[in-house]
Amino acid sequence: MYFQLTEEQKLIRETVRSFAENELAPLAAERDENESFDRELMFDKLAELGLTGIVFPEEYGGAGADYLSYAIAVEELSRVCASTGVTLSAHLSLGANPVWLFGNEAQKQKFLTPMAEGSKLGAFGLTEPTAGSDAGGTRTTAVRDGDEWILNGSKIFITNGGEAETYIVFARTDKNAEKHHGISAFIVEKDTPGFSFGKKEKKLGIRASLTCELVFENCRIPLDQLLGEEGKGFKVAMKTLDGGRIGIAAQALGIAQGAYEEALKYACERKQFDQPIASFQAIQFILADMALRIEASRLLVYQSAWRASAGLAYGKESAMAKLSASETAMWVTTKAVQVLGGYGYTRDFPVERMMRDAKITEIYEGTSEIQRIVIGSTITRG
């Protein structure tokens, strides 16, 4: 076991932290307030930093770094702006990564490279009103018609929806096949006729991140935009989500770290009963538990990232990382509001935003319940 970051990983942390503190932090509260997605700041600048394709090979426009570097980048962005963290995570893990994992060479050239370079933003359309935790409930259909597939249906809660240029969309291609077997994955580009955007969600948190409905009405896409094998879309989705969990776990970790630092700083400054509240055991114990839970989660997140890059199985580990980090984020942010007291409930301090942002990490890309199922079924399989 070797617990030190490499020079490259350290450099990435410093670079992203400096960008996050200098450029993302100042208007994070305003973006939250106005529900405004600032593409230039929240995506184009990430491309300049080489983050939009950080884990992919340079030949596909990536930076050739490892998953741990990616996790560190998402962590650092989320430490000050969770909406930016999820924008990158959804783009890279859910939009670009399935093309890397399942695309043929032509698809990689055409779709992965622009996403990795950051000239195109990626998104992932799996969830439907009746297919949340149960992706097998997918009702969107794709019917073969000559040289094309015709998509019909709708997708909800799609991160980066509306702004993204490239979407990985799941649809049922075989109505007769059993639940999970008749689903296929497709690459769909924005502005394809028949593809439009529905309602933009109003959310508790990550309000600067876009969450939108996708609508397909006789949307025709060429055959060569089928991703992976026909009927194997469920596997594409599950493999993609294994990796996606690393991104969301890192996002949750960053939120927790940000809130912990705010609480720590405030506790050392705030005086009540003639002393800094940090001198009270009740507050010290909260801070100690925060630091402990964050560190444990960080090790789980980094371990799953390391396993992904080392070519080891990481489905269970990324589920553990996501479960632990997201529940830690919720706990830490809630306690941070408590440490800041009445101030913590106001928008003068960022912890109330962090608390609202944290909640979704227990829900999206597999709820905590689904993570427990993944872990439980893996360890009982023997």
Partner 1 sequence: MFLDLTEEQNLIRETAREFAAAELAPVAAALDRGEQVELFLDNLKKLAELGFMGLNVKADYGGTEAGVIAFSVALTEIARACASTAVTVSVSNMVCEVIQAVGSEAQRLRYIPKICSGEFLAGAFALTETGAGSDPAAMTAVAVRDGDDWILNGSKIFITSAPYAGVFIVWAVTDPGLPKGKGISCFLVEAGTPGCIVGRAEEKMGQHASATNEMLFQDCRIPCSALMGKLNDGFRVAVAELAGGRIGIGSLGLGLGQVAIEQAARYALERKQFGQTISNFQAIQWKIADATTELEAARLLLMNAAFRKEQGKSYSKEASMAKLYATEVANRACYEAVQIYGGYGYTSEFPVERYSRDARITTIYEGTSEIQRLIIAREVLRSYA
The residues that are catalytic are: 365
For position 338 contacting partner 1 by CB under 8 A, the verdict is yes
- Residue 204, interface with partner 1 (CB under 8 A)? yes
Of the pair 24, 351, the CB lying nearest partner 1 is at 351
Nearer to partner 1, 6 or 130 (CB): 130
Using left for φ > 0, alpha for ψ between -120 and 50, and beta otherwise, residue 157 falls in left
Is beta strand 166-172 parallel, antiparallel or unpaired with respect to 122-125? Answer: parallel
Q: Is 158 in the site for partner 1 (CB under 8 A)?
A: no
- What tokens does 346 get? 């106001």
The footprint of partner 1 on residues 136-155 (CB under 8 A) is 136-137
Max CA-CA distance within the chain?
79
Q: Is 205 in the site for partner 1 (CB under 8 A)?
A: yes
Site string for partner 1, 236-275 (x = CB under 8 A): -----------------------------------xxxx-
Residues 271-310, interacting with partner 1 (CB under 8 A): 271-274, 282-283
Based on the shown chain and the rule CB under 8 A, indicate whether residue 360 belongs to the binding site for partner 1: yes
Residue with tokens 């019909």: 152
CA angle 207, 72, 81 (to 5 degrees): 20
Looking at 157, 186, 216, 314, which residue binds partner 1 (CB under 8 A)? 157
Give the position of tokens 């930016």.
84
Question: Least separation, in Å, of the C-beta of 218 and partner 1?
Answer: 27
| 101 contacts: CB under 8 Å, gap ≥ 6 | 236, 239, 240, 243
Closest separation in Å from C-beta 342 to partner 1:
5
Residues of this chain, 119-138, that bind partner 1 according to CB under 8 A: 127, 130-134, 136-137
The dihedral built from the CA positions of residue 193, 195, 44 and 69, taken in this order, carries a sign that is negative
- Residue with tokens 């597999």, as numbered in its chain: 366
Of 60, 218, 241, nearest to 145 by C-alpha is 218
End-to-end Cα, the chain, rounded Å: 25
Binding residues for partner 1, rule: CB under 8 A, are 33, 127, 130-134, 136-137, 156-157, 201-205, 271-274, 282-283, 330, 334, 337-338, 341-342, 344-348, 352, 355-356, 359-360, 362-364, 367-369, 372
